[in-house]
Amino acid sequence: MAVETLSDELPARIRGRFPIFERLVYINSCSQGALSDNVREAYAGYLHDWDEKGAPWDYWVERGEAARASFADLVNADPDEIAVTTSISAGVSAVVSGVPLDAGRSKIVVSDFEFPTIGQIAHAQELRGGRVVHVPAAPDTTIPLEHFDEAIDEETALVCIAAVCYRNGSRIDLEGVIRLAHECGALVLVDAYQAVGALPIDVRALDCDFLAAGVLKYLLGSAGLAFLYCRSELVERILPTQTGWFADRDIFQMDIHDYSPASTARRFEAGTPPVPSIYAGIAGMELMKEIGIEETASHVRELTTLLIDGVEEELGGRVVTPHDPARRGPLVAVASKDERALVAALEQERIVTSCRDGNLRISPHCYNNREDIEAVLAALGRHRDLLVSEV
Ligand SMILES: Cc1ncc(COP(=O)(O)O)c(C=O)c1O
Looking at residue 307, the DSSP 8-state letter turns out to be: H
**Strand duo 210-214 + 226-230: pairing:** antiparallel
- Amino acid, res. 70: S
Does the beta carbon of 87 sit less than 6 angstroms from any atom of ligand 1? yes
What pLDDT is recorded for position 7? 78
Does the beta carbon of 117 sit less than 6 angstroms from any atom of ligand 1? yes
Does the beta carbon of 194 sit less than 6 angstroms from any atom of ligand 1? yes
Does the beta carbon of 359 sit less than 6 angstroms from any atom of ligand 1? no
**221-244 confidence digits (pLDDT tens):** 999 999 999 999 999 999 999 999
Query: What count of other Cβ atoms lies within 10 Å of the Cβ of residue 376?
Result: 27
Does the beta carbon of 170 sit less than 6 angstroms from any atom of ligand 1? no
Atom 6 of ligand 1, residue of closest alpha carbon = 88
CA of 257 to the centre of ligand 1 (A): 35
DSSP states of 194-216: TTBTTB---HHHHT-SEEEEESS
Does the beta carbon of 191 sit less than 6 angstroms from any atom of ligand 1? yes
DSSP 3-state percent helix, strand, coil across the chain (nearest 5): 45, 15, 35
Name the packing angle between helices 116-124 and 88-98 (round to 10°): 30
What pLDDT is recorded for position 390? 75
CA of 223 to the centre of ligand 1 (A): 10
CA of 33 to the centre of ligand 1 (A): 13
Does the beta carbon of 166 sit less than 6 angstroms from any atom of ligand 1? yes
165, 194, 201, 225, best to mutate for ligand 1 pocket (most atoms within 8 Å of CB): 194
Strands, DSSP E only, in the chain? 25-26, 82-85, 107-111, 131-135, 156-162, 187-191, 210-214, 226-230, 332-335, 351-352, 354-356, 359-362
Does the beta carbon of 32 sit less than 6 angstroms from any atom of ligand 1? no
166, 170, 227, 363, best to mutate for ligand 1 pocket (most atoms within 8 Å of CB): 166
Q: How far is 97 from 85, CA to CA, in rounded Å?
A: 15
**188-228 confidence digits (pLDDT tens):** 999 999 999 999 999 999 999 999 999 999 999 999 999 99
- Amino acid, res. 30: C
Atom 9 of ligand 1, residue of closest alpha carbon = 87
Q: How far is 219 from 197, CA to CA, in rounded Å?
A: 5
CA of 138 to the centre of ligand 1 (A): 23
pLDDT along the chain (391 residues), means of 10: 67 97 98 98 98 96 98 98 98 98 96 98 98 97 97 98 98 98 98 98 98 98 98 98 96 92 98 97 98 97 97 97 96 98 98 96 98 98 94 59
Interacting residues of 138 by C-beta distance below 8 A, sequence separation 6+: 144, 147
Task: Find out whether 136 and 163 touch, Cβ atoms under 8 Å.
Answer: no
What pLDDT is recorded for position 100? 96
What pLDDT is recorded for position 3? 47
CA of 6 to the centre of ligand 1 (A): 31
Does the beta carbon of 214 sit less than 6 angstroms from any atom of ligand 1? yes
What pLDDT is recorded for position 1? 44
CA of 111 to the centre of ligand 1 (A): 15
Does the beta carbon of 162 sit less than 6 angstroms from any atom of ligand 1? yes
CA of 198 to the centre of ligand 1 (A): 15
CA of 211 to the centre of ligand 1 (A): 12
**51-75 confidence digits (pLDDT tens):** 999 999 999 999 999 999 999 999 9
- Amino acid, res. 360: L
What pLDDT is recorded for position 216? 96
Atom 7 of ligand 1, residue of closest alpha carbon = 88
Q: How far does CA 87 lie from the centroid of its chain?
A: 11
360, HSE (Cβ side, Cα atoms, 13 Å): 34
Does the beta carbon of 76 sit less than 6 angstroms from any atom of ligand 1? no
Atom 14 of ligand 1, residue of closest alpha carbon = 31
What pLDDT is recorded for position 391? 59
